């Protein structure tokens, strides 16, 4: 290595404060950035280890405080044009990855209407990796480093040939070949030594920024704009710190900028990113995110109007879009919010990038070079009140971020309480092994301290703690040092969290509804951030659940629809027509995750397209499997609230209600079988419903879309006492007896009702009165009566001889033979000014129910019905003299589906949707 080191003796480094090098302009042919003129690049480490939470915040604010005076002095002393006339642009490696992209960058710079512009560029995409590969090959004595270097040459040569011509092309290629020849010599030295020092590695890798700056500046001049290049090592001065960071020396940087600008004044400047110098004029780098950092420093020195960071995404997302497909672009972030999100792994600027611009309220804008129409995300100081689109105030939580591959360490013991220095000893031991503490949580009882560290460091941490506290463990003052592996952190970030009550409650409620357990919690008094530790396997589900709660809508419900027949199909069509309105106006997001019939089912991860659900079910449906269906709807998606909507009349489906409610699945149904089935089953179901936070709605089981159940429940809940419920509960029988007048024969009216679609396929199902009896038993049980269905006497309208007919057709053929009996009853009623009506009665006082054909005076409300209307009269203590009457359509798929839809919206309201 003696030979390799002698190539660049420290005494030969040029003085960066000496006369600046000439820069190529339209009429100047001297090569920029000559290798013999410029000092080597000493890049001291390219990665920055995240510090512990406490130390990170301390360093950030300490940096701001200590830099304020120097920054003020620097800005005041720089005698260059400054202020809003300057705009700063930074283009990352993907932005200058190809000749076409460099051309796009040049167009953006040329079209920028700012009076003055400074452009900071990174190396071309993948060039840094290629340069590191050169070093690794040379260290391994792999001769292919020569051909790999030729590939680097070819990449930049072909780019130059595509972009430049004339003297600019000649000058660049000459400089490029000179650089490559010098790199060959250095790599040869590394090859011989079998090792590269960090300084040598940084020197090799750093060429990428220099070449891309040369290419872009030449191209801008080619477009007719005067442009000069800045080697930022001539201007930016930084002091390395012990934490693998650097602190900018704003005062000295300001002086050097003044000197540089006095000899290179220009309204458009292209500067190298990442590179800087020490106070001793030794080239160094700005470490992690150095190009962004240098752009921010320049923005502060120039007091620029804005710093724009150009990248390959539309802005900062509310969550990682790879994990949450519904993540949205955030229009604005405060400086503090950006700090918090970046710490927790979000693709945002590193906190130090914000420090130089924050003092002068210079906004940083993240924009997508591949989508110029996207406005991007602005990071700035928030206004007193910010209102987003329309009248909706923005969410108090701006974004969510996660960190994976963590372990939780819990130090526990009664001997910790009230003992000064315990925490210091714990974290001193952690520091000694060089571990990074991500999060700390301690209860006020001081009985335990838990903290999160990267999983790869937890063994060393546990060993250090056990060694440090061996005596305390043996004596029982500490009970355990436990390690909980396979953890992840979820952080919610938002500046308005501090002034908005209930944010934490909403966060934990969303996690609870998603059945996710929280291992540890941390929240600072600033309330910018609430952090929770979860099982690793729950992390994505948790991220999606909380994002859904705060961003998708205030209430998002995943639904499974069972029975896509007449009622279920109509409901799906109603959901299709209304879903967008509900989401836009009421912030309710209804997602149908599955549809199943008796034979086929259709499942979706994100929600079925209801505009084509019938085609999808026919073409993509799989074999129906109730267990798989429910598991999919409830367990395999990111929406915490789940509802099963049973649109069948199947008792087997109804038998699952108890299990679903127990699992936290809400149930909505027009199916009467559960509430009118065995009393024991009904009581068990209602007991579970009342004891849990799971909802069970069944308004459409009585009266289709009419508010019968809710009216009854409202009366009871407000302390009224039910005396009697009497009503015409069957739309079919209502239609039949409303039209059974004059000379009409009963069988003819039944036939008309069947042809009009009012009856079941077999009219005996309606005429038997069983359906009415089920509704009566449901209302009786709601009123507190403990009756079985068999306790209700039912007057059947099916003649006894026809009960055993083989088919509905045979029944209809023989029914006219029995018209005489009902005709006689009608004549007797008409003779006394009455009409026939088929009613159900709940007699609460006598604790019984009946279903029968009754006669009513023509002035009675029951006698004044038309069509298939239902009518129900509630006689109570409050409504004893004048019963409370509910009347309206009580049959038909549209009104029944509407009743179910109403229950879905009631569920949404209970779950937090606005009323």
pLDDT one-digit tens code per residue, 771-783: 999 999 999 999 9
Whole-number pLDDT of residue 289: 67
Catalytic residue among 775, 786, 803, 848: 775
Is pLDDT larger for residue 107 or for residue 338? 107
- Judged on CB neighbours under 10 Å (0-12, 13-18, 19+), 877 is exposed
Q: Could you tell me if 54 and 252 are in contact, meaning their C-beta atoms sit under 8 angstroms apart?
A: no
Average of per-residue pLDDT across 626-631: 95
CA distance 67 to 600: 68
Answer for the pair 238, 249: CB distance below 8 angstroms, yes or no: yes
Q: Is 4's pLDDT higher than 50? A: no
Q: What is the pLDDT of residue 510?
A: 81
pTM: 0.65
Residue 83: pLDDT over 60: yes
Quote the DSSP letter at residue 124: P
3-state secondary structure of 210: helix
Q: Tell me: pLDDT of 811 over 60.
A: yes
The torsion of the CA quartet 195, 198, 201, 202, rounded to 10 degrees, works out to -170
Closest CA to 215 of 19, 33, 37: 33
For 434, counting Cβ atoms within 10 Å of its Cβ (0-12 exposed, 13-18 middle, 19+ buried), the class is exposed
Instruction: Render pLDDT for 496-546 as a digit per residue (tens, 0 to 9).
Output: 776 778 888 888 888 876 778 899 998 866 568 889 999 998 888 888 888
Do 115 and 203 form a contact (C-beta atoms < 8 A)?
no
Q: What is the bridge-based pairing of β-strands 306-311 and 364-368?
A: parallel
User: What average pLDDT does this structure show over 77-104?
Assistant: 89
pLDDT for res 716? 95
* Pick from 125-134, 207-216, 230-239, 391-400: least confident: 391-400
Torsion of CA 63, 69, 74, 75, to 10 degrees: 100
Cα–Cα distance between 274 and 257 in angstroms, integer?
A: 16
Confirm if 727 and 871 have CB atoms less than 8 A apart: yes
d(C-alpha 233, C-alpha 830), whole Å: 108
775 is catalytic: yes
Mean pLDDT, the chain, rounded, equals 85
pLDDT tens string 278-320: 898 888 888 766 889 999 999 999 999 999 999 988 889 888 8
Burial of 474 per CB tally in 10 Å (0-12, 13-18, 19+) = exposed
pLDDT of 419: 73
CA distance 316 to 400: 11
CA distances to 14, 93, 139, 504 from 179, in Å: 17, 20, 20, 57
Mean pLDDT for the stretch of residues 562-576: 95
Domains along the chain with CATH numbers: 86-311 (3.40.1160.10), 397-552 (3.30.2130.10), 555-703+903-911 (3.40.50.720), 708-890 (3.30.360.10)
Among the listed residues 109, 336, 897, 283, the one whose alpha carbon sits nearest the alpha carbon of residue 571: 897
Cα four-point dihedral sign 749, 755, 759, 763? positive
User: In the prediction, which pLDDT does 70 show?
Assistant: 62
> CA 870 to CA 862: how far, in whole Å?
9
């Amino acid at each position: 290595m003696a030979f390799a080191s002698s190539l660049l003796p420290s005494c030969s480094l040029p003085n960066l404060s000496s006369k600046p090098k000439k820069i190529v302009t339209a009429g100047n042919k001297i090569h920029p950035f000559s290798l013999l003129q410029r000092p080597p690049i000493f890049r001291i480490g390219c990665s920055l280890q995240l510090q512990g939470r406490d130390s990170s915040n301390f360093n950030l604010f300490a940096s701001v405080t200590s830099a304020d005076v120097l920054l003020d002095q620097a800005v005041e002393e720089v005698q260059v044009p400054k202020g809003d006339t300057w705009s700063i642009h930074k283009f990352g490696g993907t932005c200058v990855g190809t000749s076409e992209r460099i051309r796009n960058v040049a167009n953006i710079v040329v079209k920028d209407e700012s009076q003055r512009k400074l452009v900071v560029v990174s190396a071309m995409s993948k060039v840094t990796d290629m340069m590191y590969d050169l070093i690794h090959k040379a260290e391994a004595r792999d001769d292919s480093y020569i051909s790999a270097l030729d590939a680097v040459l070819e990449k930049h040569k072909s780019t130059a040939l595509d972009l430049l011509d004339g003297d600019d092309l000649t000058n660049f290629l000459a400089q490029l070949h000179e650089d490559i020849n010098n790199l060959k010599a250095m790599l040869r030295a590394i090859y011989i030594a079998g090792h590269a020092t960090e300084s040598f590695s940084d020197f090799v890798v750093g060429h990428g920024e220099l070449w891309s700056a040369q290419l872009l500046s030449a191209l801008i001049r080619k477009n007719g704009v005067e442009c000069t290049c800045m080697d930022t090592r001539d201007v930016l001065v930084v002091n390395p710190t012990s934490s693998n960071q650097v602190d900018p020396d704003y005062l000295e940087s300001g002086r050097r900028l003044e000197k540089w600008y006095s000899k290179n004044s220009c309204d458009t400047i292209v500067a190298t990113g990442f590179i800087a110098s020490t106070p001793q004029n030794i080239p160094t780098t700005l470490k992690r995110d150095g190009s962004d950092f240098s752009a921010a420093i320049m923005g502060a020195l120039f007091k620029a109007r804005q710093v724009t960071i150009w990248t390959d995404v539309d802005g900062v997302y509310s969550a990682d879009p790879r994990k949450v497909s519904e993540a949205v672009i955030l229009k604005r972030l405060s400086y503090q919010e950006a700090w918090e999100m970046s710490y927790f792994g979000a693709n945002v600027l590193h906190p130090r990038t914000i420090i130089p611009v924050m003092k002068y309220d210079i906004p940083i804008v993240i924009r997508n070079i591949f989508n110029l129409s996207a406005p991007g995300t602005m990071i700035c100081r928030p206004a007193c009140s910010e209102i987003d689109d329309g009248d909706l105030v923005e969410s108090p939580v701006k974004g969510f971020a996660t960190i994976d591959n963590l372990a939780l360490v819990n130090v526990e013991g009664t001997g910790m309480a009230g003992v000064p220095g315990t925490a210091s000893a714990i974290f001193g031991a952690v520091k000694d092994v060089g571990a990074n503490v991500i999060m700390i949580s301690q209860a006020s009882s001081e009985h335990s301290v838990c903290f999160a560290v990267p999983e790869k460091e937890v063994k060393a941490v546990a060993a250090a703690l056990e060694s440090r506290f061996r005596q305390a463990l043996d004596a029982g003052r500490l009970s355990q040092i436990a390690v909980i592996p396979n953890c992840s952190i979820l952080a919610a970030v938002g500046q308005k969290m501090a002034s908005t009550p209930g944010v934490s409650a909403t966060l934990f409620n969303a996690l609870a509804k998603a059945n996710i357990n929280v291992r540890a919690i941390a929240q600072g008094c600033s309330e910018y951030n609430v952090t929770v530790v979860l099982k690793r396997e729950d992390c994505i589900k948790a991220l999606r659940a909380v994002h859904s709660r705060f961003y998708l809508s205030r209430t998002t419900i995943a639904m499974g629809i069972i029975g896509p027949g007449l009622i279920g199909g109509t409901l799906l069509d109603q959901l299709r027509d209304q879903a967008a309105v509900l989401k836009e106006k009421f912030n309710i997001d209804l997602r149908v995750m599955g549809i199943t019939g008796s034979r086929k089912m259709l499942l979706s991860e994100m929600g079925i397209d209801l505009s084509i659900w019938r085609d999808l079910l026919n073409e993509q449906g799989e074999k129906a499997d109730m267990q798989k269906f429910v598991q999919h709807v409830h367990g395999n998606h990111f929406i915490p609230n789940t509802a099963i909507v049973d649109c069948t009349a199947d008792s087997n489906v109804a038998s699952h209600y108890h299990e679903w409610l127990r699992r936290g699945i809400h149930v909505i149904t027009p199916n009467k079988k559960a509430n009118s089935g065995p009393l024991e089953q009904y009581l068990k179901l209602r007991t579970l419903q009342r004891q849990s936070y799971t909802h069970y709605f069944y308004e459409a089981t009585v009266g289709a879309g009419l508010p019968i159940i809710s009216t009854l429940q409202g009366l009871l809940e407000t302390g009224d006492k039910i005396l009697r419920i009497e009503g015409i509960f069957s739309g079919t029988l209502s239609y039949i007896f409303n039209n059974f007048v004059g000379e009409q024969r009963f069988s003819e009216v039944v036939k008309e009702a069947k042809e009009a679609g009012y009856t079941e396929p077999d009219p005996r199902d309606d005429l038997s009165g069983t359906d009415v009896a089920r509704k009566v038993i449901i209302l009786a049980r709601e009123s507190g009566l403990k009756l079985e269905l068999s306790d209700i006497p039912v007057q059947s309208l099916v003649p006894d001889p026809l009960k055993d007919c083989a088919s509905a057709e045979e029944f209809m053929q023989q029914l006219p033979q029995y018209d005489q009996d009902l005709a006689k009853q009608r004549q007797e009623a008409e003779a006394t000014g009455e009409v026939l009506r088929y009613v159900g009665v709940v007699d609460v006082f006598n604790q019984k129910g009946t279903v029968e054909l009754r006669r009513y005076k023509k002035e009675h409300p029951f006698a004044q019905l038309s069509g298939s209307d239902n009518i129900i009269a509630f006689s109570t203590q409050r409504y004893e003299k004048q019963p409370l009457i509910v009347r309206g359509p009580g049959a038909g798929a549209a009104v029944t589906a509407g009743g179910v839809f109403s229950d879905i919206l009631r569920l949404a309201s209970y779950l937090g949707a606005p009323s």
